[in-house]
Copies of this chain bind each other. A is one copy, B any other.
């Protein structure tokens, strides 16, 4: 098999519009790479390897201040693209939250390929616009929502996001799921401290809105209440 064969299958969503010969060509310029949980994929201002497509797992994109405050500015799920094609360097660090498999492209190869395949660029543009919309609605959360609204919004988003990737055949948001985030990472995503996150989780549990069977497991008991809290 050619390298990164799995990518090709998973990439169909992105590359629909490419014909088989083009898929093989894309196939040939990518390399599969495994990343274990907690390991970084791209360091800040490193521009040697830059574009990747997530096959399996979840990764975080973060920016930090010099004094160590961290903000998660994006989360990449399977089939998402990571990186910054076309000459710019990305301003975010990428770290795997779970063990992950990605398909990595050298930037030059990817850029050349994209320019020669407008359909791929069109797909990329649609995805980037969708990501921009998601990021903007997250700005609303960061700037204007209080702690309980943030937590409720987060749990609902997780419920939606993790529904697709489980492939259990069930349609719609997941009722029970496993968080790919530690409490600290939830805090970094929502612009809160770990203590506030913990207290809000405890409150939701005490109010009977969610069950927390273990640290990473969440079961949504009262979805309506969460929706009301999220605002």
* Interface of chain A residues 41 through 93 with chain B (CB within 8 A): 61, 63, 65-67, 69-71, 73-74, 84-86, 88, 90-92
Query: Is the pair B142, A191 in contact by a Cβ cutoff of 8 Å?
Result: yes
Q: Knowing that A86-B126, A91-B133 are A-B contacts, what are 11 other residue pairs whose CB atoms are under 8 Å apart, sorted by A's residue number?
A: A63-B139, A71-B143, A88-B126, A91-B136, A121-B122, A125-B125, A128-B128, A131-B132, A132-B135, A135-B139, A139-B142
Query: Is the pair A143, B190 in contact by a Cβ cutoff of 8 Å?
Result: yes
Number of interface residues of A (CB under 8 A): 43
Closest to A125 in B: B125
Query: Is the pair A121, B125 in contact by a Cβ cutoff of 8 Å?
Result: yes
Name the B residues within 8 Å of A129 (CB-CB): 84-86, 88, 128
| A124 proximal to B (CB < 8 A) | yes
How many copies of this kind of chain does the complex include?
Answer: 2
Within the complex, what minimum Cβ distance (angstroms) separates A115 from chain B?
Answer: 7
A128 and B144 CA atoms in complex are apart in Å by 24
User: Contacts A118-B118, A128-B125, A144-B65; is A139 near B91 (CB within 8 Å)?
Assistant: no
| A140 proximal to B (CB < 8 A) | yes
Closest to A69 in B: B144
Within the complex, what minimum Cβ distance (angstroms) separates A228 from chain B?
Answer: 11
Query: Is the pair A133, B71 in contact by a Cβ cutoff of 8 Å?
Result: no
Within the complex, what minimum Cβ distance (angstroms) separates A105 from chain B?
Answer: 15
A-B interface, 7 closest residue pairs, ranked by CB to CB distance from nearest: A143-B191, A118-B118, A142-B142, A73-B136, A69-B144, A71-B140, A142-B143
